[in-house]
Chains A and B, each alone.
Chain A
Amino acid sequence: MTVTVQIPTALRRLTAGTARITCAATNLGELFSTLDTQFPELKPHLRDDSGEIRRFLNVYVNEEDIRFLGGNAYAFQDGDEVLLVPSIAGGAPDDGKGCHPWLRGS
């Protein structure tokens, strides 16, 4: 069984530029373990200290959000294409950086 994982540009600096790997993971936990082993620097960007998937990381399987497929319980099928896509949220920092000096400092 083979599953393909696409790494987004934003995370490729942690994979030495690797954009795509294949592995034999049967579920999300195994897939993360595989990535952890191969790219130790990537690990803290995927899951938090308690092992929960990071809030702003979305995982898609064949274009569908894995949360609609059962999340951690989803059993990967041979040929599944997994996408890791960070959410684009938030905005400029609260310190006014980029704005007028009035908003910076205290």
Chain B
Amino acid sequence: MWRYAELLPLPANYHPHLPVGFTPLVSAPQLASKIGAKRLCIKNDAVCLPTLSFKDRVVAVALATARRFGFEIVACSSTGNLANAVAAQAAREGFKAVIFIPADLEPAKILGTQVFGAKLVRIAGSYDQVNRLCSQIADERPWGFVNVNLRPYYAEGSKTVGFEIAEQLGWRLPDNVVVPMAGGSLITKIKKAFDEMIKLGLVDSRPVKFFGAQATGCSPISTAIKAGNTDIEPQKPATIARSLAIGNPADGHYAIKAISSSGGWAEDISDAEVVASIQLLASTEGIFTETAGGVTVGVARRLYQQGRIAPEETTVLCITGNGLKTTDVFAGKYAAEPAIAPRISKFDEYIETLDENPTPVEA
């Protein structure tokens, strides 16, 4: 993503130390045929480096700024992916890190913070409570909270998702993008990125519709859009899509504005649909995404069904995280295959039984 350094608020003469971003944009013809699409692409931040989510982008910009401001300790409130990104990049850049999370996060996201040596503070409460606490702590301590006092810099890092999509489409903007929404910032920054590229003459101007995706169990932004409201009513989250479980999204108002002014829409899907959508993306395109990606795929499917996205339009789905971090949602979904003897006759017998049940995937 550093090819876009000039468009980011980095310190003068900043030399990045980490390869971050520039993830693949791949066409998704098999997923497309399953959901009624024709020209469908996946922006695959499930393989963003170094910690397999788009949060690596925002943290890279935030830590460059933390250094410039002289912080020695960096911190964040997180639903998991940000925790991993801050912990890893702080280790690499020589900061101490203090990470605040809701206590009930996925085990992989907790381990994926601890392993980098970060101090983990688990809060018995929701993300919104963690975030409020961090605002108070940022008031008291000289720490660089990437998503509180460093937020203006951090947020700009999200623009690189948009820059890359346009470049990878051949310096063209898509007709539609579908973006998962937690705090609501990413969707507004992709829009900002497209606007900046138009302004610079890097792409031709064209109308792009922005579509937001949430899980029904935490859907303050999509609920507001569907009701025609310009402000959100906070919710108490109850969804397996914990990376999106922000009931009081700070950028909710801006996300609503970005979506509505573009002629887009927002939708939300059930937890069961989230799991089925993760399986659908994996089995059609070989991309294993986390719950947030399931939300995006499931909502996209709904938008095609509703006719809100036309099949022949170029549509990009933003997949922002990796499925290996949320494997707990598949507990009990797949039976353990029997272990067979290493003998050709046993294998022949076994393959016969498989042929009788050709789809080992449990829907």
Contacts and interface: CB of A to CB of B under 8 A. Distances in A.
Interface string A34-48: 000000000000000
B155 A102 contact: no
Contact of A91 (B128, B135, B152, B234): B152
B361 to A, nearest CB: 41
B306 to A, nearest CB: 29
Nearest to B5: A100
B231 A90 contact: no
Contact of B129 (A63, A87, A102, A103): A63
B6 interface: yes
Interface string B163-204: 000000000000000000001010011001001100110000
Contacts of A92: 9, 152-153, 155-156
A100 B7 contact: yes
B328 interface: no
Nearest to B128: A65
Given A65-B128, A94-B192, A89 B254 contact: yes
Contacts of A63: 129, 132
Interface in B129-149: 129, 132, 135-136, 139, 147-149
A7 to B, nearest CB: 10
Contacts of A58: 132, 248
Interface residues of A, number: 27
Given A65-B128, A102-B6, A8 B135 contact: yes
Given A65-B248, A91-B155, A85 B236 contact: no
A16 interface: no
Contacts of B152: 90-92, 98
B250 interface: yes
Contacts of B231: 55
B234 A88 contact: no
Contacts of A67: 233-234
A91 B185 contact: yes
A97 B136 CA distance: 28
B150 to A, nearest CB: 10
A99 B8 contact: yes
Interface of A: 8-10, 55-56, 58, 60, 63, 65, 67-68, 83, 85-92, 94, 96, 98-100, 102-103
Closest 7 CB pairs of A and B: A91-B155, A98-B9, A100-B6, A89-B250, A87-B250, A9-B139, A89-B251
